[in-house]
Chain A
Amino acid sequence: MEHREFQDLLALHAVDALDASDRGRVEEHLASCAACRAELTELREAAGLLAHASPAAEPSAAVRTRILDQVRKEKELGTVSSRVIPFQTRSASGLWPNALRIAAAIAFVALLIGVAVLWRREASSQQEIARLSQQLDQQNQELAHNREALALINAAGAKKMELAGSQTAQAARGTFIYDQATGRAVVMTNGLPAVPAGMAYEVWFIPKGHSPMPGKTFRVDASGHAMTMDQMPVEAMQGAVIAITLEPEKGSASPTGAIYLSSSAS
């Protein structure tokens, strides 16, 4: 191809419209032809003006923010590396091996620090994850528990008994609800005194004319509130009494402590 033929292709090249087969040859010619390079520059300038043929439009302001945020981020990273570069360029050629060794040592130390920091971060993340998943498990259990209690309270055959505070705990109130069909029961308390160490409240189920049968033990929160589920013998519920006493933590076979809450016989 002659110079003239290449020249004819420059306009196509200026708008990147050369087919792949021509592009390589034109590039090759440009490398050795200053006149064509100059003409290409001019044609590219003219082509650039075509951008004005599209209507100018306003981008959203977020674009500017994103660009400048990114630039600042890169700048921070850049200043770290620029601290290392002068160290290398300052060294005389004879000192190169030393400078390299020092630079390598610095890089290695930086790497070690980085690894240590990441490792610690990783370890504390793991702990945090373990703690959170434990918390989640606990909350899920509570949630399931609460759902079960709600279902029970709302059951068609649910029967409710009020528990009144005894002389020992006059402010205490409680509710005992049981499902006559299944014997599932829920005890809810309010205003019970805090439980001393090693002790727990225990639910007693006292069928008419029988000795008390032990139920669940439970502890209360700061406001004396608790909700605990239990299972009662359905056939013996008629006329039974519910009582709550303070017992050793592991529970007693028959009541030993003072009565805190009890239902009146029904």
Chain B
Amino acid sequence: MSAISRGDEGALAALYDRYRLILFGLTLRILHDRQESEDILQETFLQVWRRAGDFDATRGRAFTWLVTIARSRALDRLRVLGSRARLADEVVAHSAVDDIGDAAKDAVKSEQGTIVRRALAELPEEQRRTLLLAYFEGLTQSEIAERLGDPLGTVKTRMRSGLIKLKELLRDSARGL
């Protein structure tokens, strides 16, 4: 990342080559649209290029920073597109919330994916549902509560327990993810 902040475009290209699959998978999952997702991917790496100096290694890994940028941009776009309600309907209709193993047409099998999906499968269903609604659909605590018919406090607890459990399950393998 420091090479990128010094203007080394080769370093940016290497970063792209390493993370494009997972980041594109993420944006595609959020937006369900290749064109939009590719735009977000492009914006993400241009932001990385311009703001690499802002990256602070003491506040997390580069991967987390990248994922955070890509996800928040994708969720912003989703809101702009106003397709959130439509997608939510689809999700409910297809119960896709639990559909964590469903591979898209252009999906690429990845070992990390397998590990994370396996860990997610070990979480109680309510925790998993809560995590995925927030992460991939950008729903807030009260929106999740409304969607699932749970009290706000329950959503808060499930989010915390789920995330901590996930962290523990992935502690050993997290370095390689």
Contacts and interface: CB of A to CB of B under 8 A. Distances in A.
Interface of A: 8-12, 14-19, 22, 41-60, 62-64, 66-68, 70-72, 74-75, 78
22 contacts: A12-B159, A15-B134, A41-B59, A43-B164, A45-B167, A46-B166, A49-B174, A50-B116, A50-B132, A51-B70, A52-B117, A54-B136, A55-B113, A56-B107, A58-B106, A59-B37, A60-B34, A63-B20, A63-B42, A64-B17, A68-B13, A70-B46
Contacts of A78: 7
Contacts of B129: none
B108 interface: yes
Nearest to B20: A59
B170 A49 contact: yes
B142 A19 contact: yes
A8 B155 CA distance: 11
B123 to A, nearest CB: 11
Interface in B134-155: 134-136, 138-142, 144, 155
Given A48-B63, A72-B9, A78-B7, A55 B159 contact: no
B95 to A, nearest CB: 16
B39 to A, nearest CB: 9
Contacts of A67: 12, 16, 42, 45-46, 49
A56 B24 CA distance: 7
A63 B38 contact: yes
B19 to A, nearest CB: 10
Given A9-B156, A46-B167, A59-B20, A53 B120 contact: yes
A44 B140 CA distance: 16
A45 B63 CA distance: 9
Contacts of A43: 163-164, 167
- Indicate the member of A22, A43, A54 with the most B CB atoms within 10 Å: A54
A45 B134 CA distance: 15
Give the contact-size bracket for chain B: 35 or more
Given A11-B160, A54-B136, A55-B107, A49 B46 contact: no
A127 to B, nearest CB: 38
Contacts of B164: 11, 43, 46
B29 interface: yes
A12 B23 contact: no
A57 B28 CA distance: 8
Contacts of A48: 60-61, 63-64, 67-68
A12 B70 CA distance: 18
A54 B26 contact: yes
Contacts of A57: 21, 24-25, 28, 104, 106-108
Nearest to B24: A59
B28 A45 contact: no
A75 B9 contact: yes
Contacts of B160: 8, 10-12
A8 B42 contact: no
Given A71-B46, A74-B50, A47 B110 contact: no
B139 to A, nearest CB: 7
Given A53-B100, A71-B9, 13 more contacts: A11-B162, A16-B72, A45-B61, A45-B174, A51-B26, A52-B115, A52-B177, A53-B116, A55-B103, A57-B25, A59-B41, A63-B38, A67-B42
A45 B49 contact: no
Contacts of B120: 50, 53
A8 B138 CA distance: 19
Contacts of B71: 51
A41 B104 CA distance: 31
Contacts of B155: 12
Contacts of A74: 49-50
A12 B144 CA distance: 11
A53 B113 contact: yes
Nearest to A72: B9
- Indicate the member of A10, A18, A46 with the most B CB atoms within 10 Å: A46
